[in-house]
């Protein structure tokens, strides 16, 4: 994904909803190359997201600064309130800043060595939600980074993850509101259970 000048579109951290063949809505945190007409993202081959997209090539991609929802979508299986999407058979999360409904156009193996696939998807509808974005927040970014570390616990090892979480916790202590604190607590509980 790139603009007319050939610069890549930024990778935006989103929450992607897909629907399983059993009708269950799955929420997953996912980095998405954010174009106006097309999005690209790279689900790992073992994810429900990819399984759902192969069975039913439609999704809703949400922008949110609700870091608790994001962290839960990265490390767990949240079920936030949703309503039916307009143009695809999918689910729109109610409390987000914005969303795009997309139809998959191509699924190919990823160009890197990682066991993931590249999904290209065409934007067919878009909307804004009930949660206007508040802007930059160090505690939110810290919680996002913390969730990445937690998701790599097996490769990084518990010592390294706890050290990095300690550094990020300082930012949360300085700048968080309740939602950011809850997100960081969720990450710490996830790591404590598995370390
Ligand atoms: C910041 C961040 C970015 C992520 N980006 C991706 C991604 O691009 N692809 C992916 O498969 N998982 C990504 N994850 C992990 C997924 O959110 C997590 O594995 C989730 O459970 C998806 O699996 P599911 O589809 O089985 O629910 C990311 C996690 C975080 C914290």
Query: Are 87 and 147 within one domain?
Result: no
Q: Look at the chain and report how many structural domains it folds into.
A: 2
Q: Same structural domain for residues 29 and 89? A: yes
In tens, the pLDDT along 78-111 reads 999 999 999 999 999 999 999 999 999 999 999 9
> Domain end: 108, 128, 148, which one?
128
CA of 124 to the centre of ligand 1 (A): 23
Domain boundary among 105, 128, 151: 128
pLDDT along the chain (195 residues), means of 10: 68 97 96 95 97 98 97 97 97 97 97 94 96 94 98 96 98 98 98 95
Question: Is the pTM of the predicted complex or chain greater than 0.75?
Answer: yes
29 lines ligand 1 (CB under 6 A): yes
Q: State the Cα–Cα distance between residues 96 and 131, nearest whole angstrom.
A: 5
Same domain? 101 vs 18: yes
Q: Is the CB of 54 under 6 A from ligand 1?
A: no
Range of the domain at 169: 138-194
């Amino acid at each position: 994904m790139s603009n007319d000048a050939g610069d890549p579109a930024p990778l935006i951290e989103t929450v992607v909803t897909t629907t399983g063949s059993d009708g269950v809505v799955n929420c997953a945190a996912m980095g998405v190359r954010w174009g106006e007409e097309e999005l690209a993202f790279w689900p790992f081959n073992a994810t429900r997201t990819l399984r759902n997209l192969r069975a039913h090539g439609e999704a809703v991609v949400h922008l949110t600064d609700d870091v608790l929802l994001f962290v839960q979508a990265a490390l767990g299986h949240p079920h936030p309130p949703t309503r039916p999407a307009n143009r695809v058979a999918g689910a729109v999360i109610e409390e987000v800043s914005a969303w795009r409904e997309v139809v998959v156009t191509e699924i190919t193996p990823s160009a890197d060595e990682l066991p993931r696939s590249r999904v290209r998807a065409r934007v067919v509808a878009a909307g804004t939600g009930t949660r206007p974005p508040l802007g930059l927040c160090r505690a939110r970014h810290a919680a996002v980074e913390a969730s990445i570390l937690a998701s790599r616990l097996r490769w990084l090892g518990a010592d390294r993850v706890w050290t990095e979480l300690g550094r990020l916790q300082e930012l949360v202590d300085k700048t968080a509101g309740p939602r950011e604190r809850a997100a960081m607590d969720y990450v710490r509980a996830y790591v404590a259970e598995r370390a």
